[in-house]
Amino acid sequence: MQLGPYTLSSPVFLAPMAGVTDRPFRQLCRSLGAGLVVSEMVTSEPHLRNSRKTQLRMDHSGEAEPISVQIAGTEPAKMADAARFNVDNGAQIIDINMGCPAKKVCNVAAGSALMKDEKRVAEILKAVVSAVDNPVTLKIRTGWDHSNRNALSIAHIAEDCGIQMLSMHGRTRTDAYQGVAEYDTIAEVRQHISIPLVANGDISSAEKAQQVLRYTGADAVMIGRAAQGKPWIFREINHYLQTGEMLAPPSQQEVSMILQNHLTNLYAFYGEQRGVRIARKHIGWYCKSHRLDDPQQLKQFQQHINRIEDAPLQLAEVINFLKSKTINRRIAA
C-alpha cells in the first residue's frame, strides 16, 4: 500500500490510543509486523507543547519510517500550526483525530464531536493539508449517533480537501466502545471514494481481519485494543492474509522475552518510577492473554504487581510468574 512517498510494509496498522501507543509500544508493534503505527494524539494547543506528556508523545527517536503523528483540536489555524510544528519535529505523516469518543475530548468539540459540524471539518482539513507537504490522513467514526451516520459525507469532504487516507471505526461517537462494530457504513464509504480506506473496530483475530477486508473492500485494517497484551497479532494477521493458514502462537519463552524487552524499554523511556506505574496495565493485558488454570491466581498476582514500586523487582516478579506451572505452555490465540 502506498501513502504519499511511503510504501507501507503490510495492510495491518496500529491504531492511535491515548496512554497506550507510546514510543516503546509503537516500536514493539512495528517489529512484530505492523505496517503503520500512529502516535498518541498530540494537542494542537501551543501552550501545552512544553509539557512533559506532550514532549514524550513527540519523541520519535529510533523509530522506523514513516512516522505518523496524530493531532487533535478544534481551530483550523491551530491545527495547521500543530501540523507544521510536528513535521518540523520528525512527523512524516499527519493524522487528524475526528474519531476519539472520550468525553473530555468531545466536551471541547474535538475528536468525534467534530463530525457534527461538517463546515468546521472542511475548514480544518483544508488548513492542515495546505500547511504541510506531507501526507495528511484522517480518522473518523461512522457518525455522531445512530440517527446521524454521516461518515459518507465526511469522507467526500476529506477526499475533496486532499486527505490521502481515511480510517474509520465502525461505531458512532455515542456508542463509544459499547456493543459491536458495524461494517456496512465502511463498505458503503468504500464504494464512493478513491483514496485508501482503513477499517477499524472489533478486529481481534486473523480470521476477523480477513472477513472485514472482504466484506468492506477496505485497503487495510487497523488494530487497537486487540493489540494490548498481544502485540504479535500483527504478524498473525499478516501470515493469515498471505497464506490462508493460522500462524502458531508464540512460545512461552518468546512471550517472556517480548514482555521483558517491553518493560525494560518502558523503564528507559519514562524513568523507572513512572515506567513501573505505566507497565502495570501492560502486564495485566499480557497476563490476560494466557489461559490460566486458576484465574484467582492471576487476580492475586495483579494485586501484588500493583503494589511494587521497584523496577528490577517488578520485572523479576513478572518473569517468574510467566514461568509458573499454572500457565499453559501456549498463549491463547
Identify the pLDDT of residue 9: 94
| 29 part of the active site | no
Q: In what order do the strands lie in the sheet with 42-43?
A: 36-37, 12-14, 220-223, 197-200, 165-169, 136-141, 93-98, 68-72, 42-43
pLDDT in tens, 92-127: 999 999 977 555 544 444 566 888 899 999 999 999
| pTM for the whole structure | 0.91
pLDDT of 11 higher than 70: yes
Q: In sequence order, which residues have a C-beta less than 8 Å from that of residue 268 and are 6 or more positions away?
A: 275
Q: Which residue of the set 29, 100, 106, 287 is catalytic?
A: 100
Q: In sequence order, which residues have a C-beta less than 8 Å from that of residue 271 and are 6 or more positions away?
A: none
Closest CA to 200 of 178, 183, 217: 183
Identify the pLDDT of residue 101: 59
pLDDT in tens, 217-241: 999 999 999 999 999 999 999 999 9
Which grid coordinates belong to 127?
488548513
Return the H-helix or E-strand segment holding 237.
helix 233-243
